[in-house]
Structure 1
Amino acid sequence: MLTDSGRETHATSSPTRSNRPSKRLGLIAFIATFGGLLFGYDTGVINGALEPLEEDLGLTALTEGFVVSILIFGAAFGALIGGRLSDRYGRRHNILLLSVVFMTGTLGCVLAPTWEVLAAFRFVLGLAVGGASATVPVYLAEMSPAERRGSIVSRNEFMIVSGQFLAFVINAVIFNLWGEHDSVWRYMLLVAVVPAIVLLLGMLRMPESPRWLISQGRHDDALMVLKQVRTPEAAHAEMAEVEALAEEEELTQVGGPIDLSVKWIRRLMLIGIGLGVFQQFTGINSVMYYGTQLLADAGFSSSAAIVANTLNGLVSVLGITIALKVMNKVNRRTMLFVGFALITIFHLLIGLSAVLLPDGPVKAYCILVFVVLFVFSMQGTIGPLAWLMLAEIFPLKIRSFAIGVCIFVLWIANALVALFFPPVVAAIGIAMTFFIFAGLGLLALIFTTQVPETRGRSLEELEDHFREKYS
C-alpha cells in the first residue's frame, strides 16, 4: 500500500486525475447508502402509520406489536442469508437483489387487505433490511482506500438515522394533509418505493467490489474497478495488497462454533452479544417504532404527537453526527459508561414524570423533553459505538462467524422490544415500562466494566491482548 505521504505527493502532482476517483467513490457511496436510507425509512415509517393502521385493519396491542416486530425478526434472518448470498454472488449483485425485495415488500404492504397479509410482507421487508445491514457496509469498506474507510462506511449509519428522520417528517406531512382518510397509512408506506427505485437504477451502473472479484479469481476485473476509485499508481499498489490479504484470509477464515471451546474467544463472544443486547434493551427502538403513540399516551393530540415525534428523528441525526466526530478522541469504555448512565437517568425522569405530574400540557412536554434527551444520548454514544466495537474485538479467524452471531442476537433483542412494548405499556403504563428500562440500564453499567478498551490499538494488538488477558 502507498504511504499517506506518497498519496499526498501524487495528488499534488496530478490533481485532476486524483479528484476523478474521489468523485467516483463519493457517487458509489451515495448510491449504495440508499440501502441504509431504506433500512431507516422502513423501520421508522411504522411509527406514524400505526394509529390510522389500527383503525383501518383493527389491530390490538398484541397484533400491533406483532406487525411491527415481524420486520425485525425478518431482518435477523435477512442478515444471515444476505451475508452468505453476498459472499457467493457478490456485493453489488446482492444490493441489486435487495432493491427488488424492498420494492416487492413495500408494494405488498401498501396493498395488504388484512393485517395478516401486511405482516407477511413486513417480514419480506425485514429480509431486505437485514440483508442491507450485512451487505452495504461491507461493500463500502471494500471499495474505500484505508485512509477514507471509516468516513465512507459511517455514511451508511448516517443514512439509516436520516431515513428514520425522513419517515417521521413525511408521516407528519401526510397525516396532517390527508389524515381523515382511513388508508392514509398506505401513502406513508408507498413513499419507500422511490429510494428503492433509485437504489436499483443506481447500482446497475456501479462496479462490483474489487475484494470480492479477487476472491473469485477475476483479477483483471478487480484492477479495472480499483482504477475507477484510485489513481492508476495507487490501484496497482493496492492490488498487490488486496491479493495478499485475500490469500491470508482464505487460509485463516476457518473459524466457527468449534472455536467457542477456547476460553478467551468464548469470553469475547459473550461480550459482543452483551453489547448488542444491551444496546437494544436501552429501548431506543421503542421510541423509533412507537414514539408517536408514546407521546399521544403522554397527553399530546394525534396530530401534535406525530409532529413532535419528528424531534426524535432530528436529534438522532444530530447525535450520530457528534458521535462520529468524537468517537476517535474518547475511550470506548468511557463513552459506553457515560452513555448508559445518561440513558438510565432519562429513563427514570420519564417514569417519574408519568407518575408524579398531573395529566396536562406540563406532563406531556416534560415527557417529550426527556424522551428527546434520551434519544440524543443514545445516538450520540451507544448507538454507533456498539457496531464499531463489534468490528474491533474479534480476531480475524472467527470475525465473520462471531459478528454474524452477534448481529443475529442484536436483531432478536430488537424484535423482542418491538413485540412486547405495546402490550407492556397497555398493561403497566408508561412509568413502570421506563422504570424497567432504567433497571436494565443499571445492569448495562455493570456490564460495561467487563468491556475491553479498544481505542488506539491495532486489531493484531487487540488479539494478542485478549489472548493474554482472557486465557
Structure 2
Amino acid sequence: MSPAPSFHDELGVKVRHWNFRTFLAVNVMCIGAAAFGYAQGISGSTLGQPSFSLDMGLTTASNATQLISAMNALFYVGAFFGTVANGWIADRWGRKPSILLGTIIVLVSAALLAGSVNMAMFIVFRFFSGFGAYILAMSVPLWITETVPPDVRGIFAMFNGFFINIGYLLASYIGFGFYHYTGAGLAAWRGPIALNGAPCVAMLMGLYWMPESPRFLLMKGKDAEARRIVRMLHSSVADPDHYYAEKELFQMRKQIELDRTLDSSWLAMYKRPSYFRRMVMAFFVVFSIAASGAQVIANYASILFSNLGFGPTKQLLFYAGLYCASTPPNLLECLYIDRMSRTKLVAIGLIILACIMSVYTALTAQFINTTNLAGQKAAVAMLFIFFFAYAATVDGPTWFYTAELFPTHLRSKGMVVGTGTYALSSLVWVMSGPTAIKNIEWRFFLIFIILNVLSAIIIWIWFPDTKGKSLEEIAALFGDDDLVVVYTRDIHLDAHHHVVADLALDGGKSATVIEDITDESEKYGRPSVEREAK
C-alpha cells in the first residue's frame, strides 16, 4: 500500500514528498521486522507440534509446564539484554550496523535451535534468538522514524507492524504445513525453526544497498552524506529542486547542532523533568499494549485451544488463522494512522480489546471443559476478532510512538525504554501464563480487561499526539520550547536557492539566517551569508 500525498507546499498545493526509492528502502528494512516476527511467533507453532513434545520429552516430564515457561521466558530475557545493548550499539555504530548484528544473531540462533538435541540447549538458544530479534525490533522502527518524511511517518512505520505480522503468519502456516509432513517424523518441528533463516538471508542481501539514518549521520558530522540521502528519499517529480528536502534538512541540521552539545547520558533522562516525563510515557504506552492480553494469546494459543477441546490439527490451524485475521487490518491502519491522533487511536483500541476480552472470558468460563461445540467455537471466534482489532489499532504505535517522543541524541535510549518494557512485560505474562491458565483458567483474563480500561483512560487524557510533527519540534509538546532551534513554519526558500529561517537564540532572542544551497559541493554547510539578530 502506498501512502497518499499529504504535504502542502508554500503555495498551498498538495505535493507528495516521497518516491519509489523511499517505499523500496522501507520495505527492504522491514524484512528485518519479518525476521523478528518469525522468531517471536515460532514458539506458539512449535508448542502445537506433537513431535516437539515427544522429541524433547515434554510428554513425560513432571516439570513440563515449567520448561515451557522457561522456553518462552528466556527468549524475553534475551530480548531485554539485546535491547539494552542496542542502545549503545545504535548510537556508537549506527542504525544499519545494529540491524546487521541483529540479523546475524537471529540467523545463527535459528540454525542452533533447529539442531537442538535437548531442552536445555533449546532454552539457551532461545535466549540468543530473543537477543537478536529485539535488536531488530528496536532498530527497524528507529531507522524508519528517523528517515522518512514526517507527514507519512506513521504510514511507513506501519509497514514495520505489517512485516512483523507477516513473520508471525509465515511461522504459523509453515508450522502447520510441517505438522502434516509425515516423512519428517520427530524432526517435524525443526524445519519451521530453521526457516527463520530465510528472511535473515534476504535482509543480509538487501541491507548493503540501504542508506543510513540521515539524523544519525548528522549527529556524526557527516552532513554531505545526510543531505544526499534526504534529497534522494524526500523528493518527487513534483519537487525537482528539492525545496522540501532542503527545508527539512536545514531544520534537522540546526537542531542536531544543538543536540550534540547536550548531555546524552542516561542520567540526563532523569535530571530534566520533561525527559523523565517522556520516559514514563514510553514505558506506560508500551506496557499498556503489552498488557492487552495479546502476548498470552500469541504464545499460548495452542493451550487455550486445547482447553476448549480442540485437537493438535485445529490448534495449529487456528493459531495460523489468528495471524491471517490480523494481516488485512495492518494494511487498513495505513489509511488512517496519519489522520487520527496517535494516542486517541491507542486508547480506543484498548477499550475495544477490553470489550472483546470480556466476551471471550465469559464464553470460556461457560463452555470450557464442556461438550458445547457452538460455545467453544464462539470463544475461538472472539480470539480472531481480538487479533483483528489489535492489528487495526494498537499494533503499529507499539513500535514507533516511543521513537517519536525523544530528541535525536536520546532517541535510541528512549527506544531502549520502550522496547525493553515490551520485553519485560512479555516476560511477566509468558512466565505466569501456563500456570495461570492451568490453575485459575478464565479468571486470568480479568487482569487484562481491567488494565486495558485503566490504561485507555490515562492515555486519552494525559498523553500528547505526535502525528505529523517534525521530530525536531516534538520538544515543544513537553514545554521544551528552548530546545527547538527552528520551526518548519519559519523556514522558507527564495527564488535564488537561499534557505531563509528565523532561529531561536539564547535569552529569548532570534536571528534571521540565510544560507545558499545552490552548490552542493562548495556551499553546503557554510556559515550563513546574512545573520540579523532580533
TM-score, normalized by length of structure 1? 0.86
Preserved CA contact (<8 Å) 1:28 1:206: yes
Q: Greater share of strand residues, 1 or 2?
A: 2
**1:204 is the counterpart of 2:208:** yes
**Separation in structure 2 between the aligned mates of residue 73 and residue 254 of structure 1, nearest angstrom:** 26
Deviates more, 1:220-229 or 1:412-421: 220-229
Q: Per the alignment, do residues 359 and 348 of structure 1 end up closer, same or farther by CA in structure 2, a change over 3 Å counting?
A: farther
**Separation in structure 1 between the aligned mates of residue 340 and residue 148 of structure 2, nearest angstrom:** 25
Aligned residue number for residue 284 of structure 2? 274
Q: CA deviation digits over 1:235-279, x for unaligned, max 9? A: 666554443232122123536335535556545543432222221
Aligned residue number for residue 423 of structure 2? 411
**Separation in structure 2 between the aligned mates of residue 183 and residue 130 of structure 1, nearest angstrom:** 27
Alignment equivalent of 1:424, drawn from 421, 436, 461? 436
Aligned residue number for residue 378 of structure 1? 390
Preserved CA contact (<8 Å) 1:38 1:196: yes
Alignment equivalent of 1:347, drawn from 349, 357, 374? 357
The CA deviation at 1:398 is 5.5
Q: CA deviation digits over 1:148-184, x for unaligned, max 9? A: 4332232111111121122122212221233872121
Q: Per the alignment, do residues 257 and 442 of structure 1 end up closer, same or farther by CA in structure 2, a change over 3 Å counting?
A: same
Q: Superposed, which structure 2 residues align to 1:1-400 within 5 Å?
A: 4-5=8-9, 22-52=19-49, 53-59=52-58, 60-178=64-182, 181-226=185-230, 228-229=232-233, 233-234=241-242, 239-254=249-264, 256-257=266-267, 259-260=269-270, 266-357=276-367, 358-393=370-405, 399-400=411-412
Preserved CA contact (<8 Å) 2:152 2:468: no
Q: CA deviation digits over 1:325-354, x for unaligned, max 9? A: 233444445434432222222222222222
**Separation in structure 1 between the aligned mates of residue 456 and residue 234 of structure 2, nearest angstrom:** 44
Aligned residue number for residue 15 of structure 1? none
Preserved CA contact (<8 Å) 1:333 1:451: no
The one-letter amino acid of 1:87's match is D
Preserved CA contact (<8 Å) 2:151 2:468: no
Preserved CA contact (<8 Å) 2:343 2:463: yes
Deviates more, 1:100-109 or 1:315-324: 315-324
The CA deviation at 1:64 is 0.5
Q: Greater share of helix residues, 1 or 2?
A: 1
Q: CA deviation digits over 1:199-237, x for unaligned, max 9? A: 111112323333333333333443444454355742666
Aligned residue number for residue 532 of structure 2? none
The one-letter amino acid of 1:454's match is D
Q: Per the alignment, do residues 382 and 163 of structure 1 end up closer, same or farther by CA in structure 2, a change over 3 Å counting?
A: same
Deviates more, 1:180-189 or 1:356-365: 356-365
The one-letter amino acid of 1:38's match is A
Preserved CA contact (<8 Å) 1:389 1:454: no
The CA deviation at 1:76 is 1.7
The CA deviation at 1:24 is 2.6
RMSD over aligned Cα atoms: 3.2
Preserved CA contact (<8 Å) 2:141 2:160: yes
Q: What 5-or-longer segments of structure 1 have no aligned partner? A: 13-17
Q: Per the alignment, do residues 100 and 113 of structure 1 end up closer, same or farther by CA in structure 2, a change over 3 Å counting?
A: same
Q: Per the alignment, do residues 172 and 379 of structure 1 end up closer, same or farther by CA in structure 2, a change over 3 Å counting?
A: same
Alignment equivalent of 1:454, drawn from 459, 462, 465? 465
**Separation in structure 2 between the aligned mates of residue 108 and residue 8 of structure 1, nearest angstrom:** 57
SS in 2 for 1:426: helix
**Separation in structure 2 between the aligned mates of residue 8 and residue 30 of structure 1, nearest angstrom:** 30
The one-letter amino acid of 1:254's match is S
SS in 1 for 2:292: coil
Larger Rg belongs to: 2
The CA deviation at 1:294 is 1.6
Aligned residue number for residue 436 of structure 1? 447
The one-letter amino acid of 1:137's match is P
SS in 2 for 1:63: helix
**Separation in structure 1 between the aligned mates of residue 10 and residue 144 of structure 2, nearest angstrom:** 23
TM-score, normalized by length of structure 2? 0.77
Deviates more, 1:206-215 or 1:69-78: 206-215
Q: Per the alignment, do residues 79 and 171 of structure 1 end up closer, same or farther by CA in structure 2, a change over 3 Å counting?
A: same
